[in-house]
Structure 1
Amino acid sequence: MRRLKTQNQLQDFLDAELSWRVKEISTLKAAVKSSAFISEQTLVRASVALLYAHWEGFIKSAATGYITYVNNQGLNYSQLKTCFVVLGFKKALHDVQQSKQSHVNSTLIDFLREGLAEKSNLKIDTAINTESNLSASVFENILHAVGFETSPYEAKAHLIDESLLKRRNTIAHGEYIDVAKDDWAKLADEVLQMLRQFKTDIENAMALSAFKRPVAT
């Protein structure tokens, strides 16, 4: 992922990340549709858990890839949107928290005073935190972290929290839940739509250099 420097590299990464997930979800949909009644519920419940895994996995991987791409553009903090400057500040703060050396502590103050003129060095490994429960509110926080609009996803909040996350948690905790295969198929379509939307958001941001701070006129 460190090699994500060009638009083509990021595009190839996003295409690969989404394509295998789409293929697997499509395979699950076909299997659920053709399953015998005796095994249908077992397959559907297992498929809910896997569908959630693709939801969390793609959002985290794609967002991290985008941040890596931004970090590799060689821009100063002053050239980046505020949300990315925050990630740089978090790195400086993390370094302070991990060290008791006074000279390290002073780097945080230096960042606040002069850091905007420096080349960006974002804390990528912890930039995207799904909290292992990618709820609507956690997803909204990720959208803010990468500077994306939340409005395209607001109508999906109930679907994310109730239809996807709550069902996944119930299954993961070993509790029984009855999910009709038609409901699962609709849920799979909705999740795929959100994954494609998020991929499009990244592609648009990349093409428009939306990660850059607007130049004052």
Structure 2
Amino acid sequence: MKLNKLEELLEEDLGWRKKELSDLILIAKQTGEEVVLKSIILLLYAHWEGYIKRSSKLYLNYISDSKKFLNELTENFRAVILKGIINQCIASKEALTLQNELIVLSKLSNADKIKFKIKTGYNNESNELDVENDFDNTIINTHSNLNPKVFKNILSVIGLQYKTQIESREKYIDSHLLANRNSIGHGSRLKKQISEDFALEINDIEKLRDVIFSIIDNFSDELVEYCKEEYFLISNQHKLTSYIELKELELSNTFKYIDEKYS
């Protein structure tokens, strides 16, 4: 996969998600129906989980297509490959034999000499990349509950850092997106005034949308920049600190703008 193709797929996937939410918010403003407001929360969560999952898979496939050796890449990629080797051996019919254990040891000891090669998000029938494939959870697994903790784990898998600005919003995301989505999804009724700082009203829902998509936008930009500057290489780690500080500042400024906008 070429970089321009990765950018195209990331932008296209994000674009239709934003449009769907904007369309539904417009309907909510016109009708004021509670069921539409609840639908926005469900759709917002779906696009939060869907985009993080699919874009992470696209990123891993981009690294895979770059044909780098494991000893060139940061430690997270070694972990991905080693997990795959172990899982393959566990699934083997010879799982309980000494021969299989020797195979595992041989593969592990020679891991640095192999290239990072995976296929995640592929269609098993066509063997082609399919960004609509949600059934492969072997590497990127949201557990159908993409809370900040799970998001942090996914970032660790793909080699990105979890920002302090996101950490500062964990409680907000957990209580207003995850908890409300779970309640609606399980058929529970929501009180109009859910908490002191969140009500089932368009203003609070729009703020929640803006917070979530500011994190998504930041994440998407970061994936592209990691590929452009090859921050996934060990040799380029010394250049990464200033970039991370920049993205932290961008997210901080965005959060401040959102807070002021909806205050």
Give the TM-score of the pair, scaled to structure 1: 0.91
Secondary structure of 2:188's partner? coil
- Give the aligned partner of residue 204 of structure 2: 183
Q: How many residues align?
A: 210
- Give the aligned partner of residue 92 of structure 1: 85
Identity of aligned residues (%): 30
1:105 positional shift: 4.1
- Please tell me whether the aligned partners of residues 231 and 237 of structure 2 are also in contact (alpha carbons under 8 angstroms): no
* Runs (5+) with no aligned partner, structure 2: 121-135, 193-199, 239-263
Counterpart check, 1:135 vs 2:147: yes
Counterpart among 52, 76, 82 of residue 75 in structure 2: 82
In structure 2, the CA distance between the partners of 1:190 and 1:216, relative to structure 1 (3 Å rule), is closer
- Please tell me whether the aligned partners of residues 90 and 123 of structure 1 are also in contact (alpha carbons under 8 angstroms): no
For residues 21 and 142 of structure 1, the distance between their equivalents in structure 2, rounded to whole angstroms, comes to 21
| 1:118-129 equivalent positions in 2, closer than 5 A | 118-122=114-118, 124=120, 125=136, 126-129=138-141
1:215 positional shift: 6.6
State which drifts further: 166-175 or 116-125.
116-125
1:121 positional shift: 2.4
In structure 2, the CA distance between the partners of 1:33 and 1:216, relative to structure 1 (3 Å rule), is closer
1:123 positional shift: 6.0
State which drifts further: 165-174 or 94-103.
94-103
| 1:27-42 equivalent positions in 2, closer than 5 A | 27-36=23-32, 40-42=33-35
Query: Which digits, 9 at most, give the CA deviation of each residue in 1:103-160, with x for residues without a partner?
Result: 5543321222111111122363421110100011001111111111212422221222
Query: Which digits, 9 at most, give the CA deviation of each residue in 1:173-217, with x for residues without a partner?
Result: 000113122111111111111111110110111111111122799
Give the TM-score of the pair, scaled to structure 2: 0.75
| 1:168-179 equivalent positions in 2, closer than 5 A | 168-177=181-190, 178=192, 179=200
Identify the structure with bigger relative contact order (alpha carbons < 8 Å, sequence gap 6+): 1
Secondary structure of 1:91's partner? helix
For residues 215 and 136 of structure 1, the distance between their equivalents in structure 2, rounded to whole angstroms, comes to 27
* Runs (5+) with no aligned partner, structure 1: none
Aligned AA for 1:203? V
For residues 119 and 87 of structure 2, the distance between their equivalents in structure 1, rounded to whole angstroms, comes to 9
Counterpart among 30, 34, 40 of residue 47 in structure 1: 40
- Please tell me whether the aligned partners of residues 55 and 191 of structure 1 are also in contact (alpha carbons under 8 angstroms): yes
Counterpart check, 1:155 vs 2:165: no
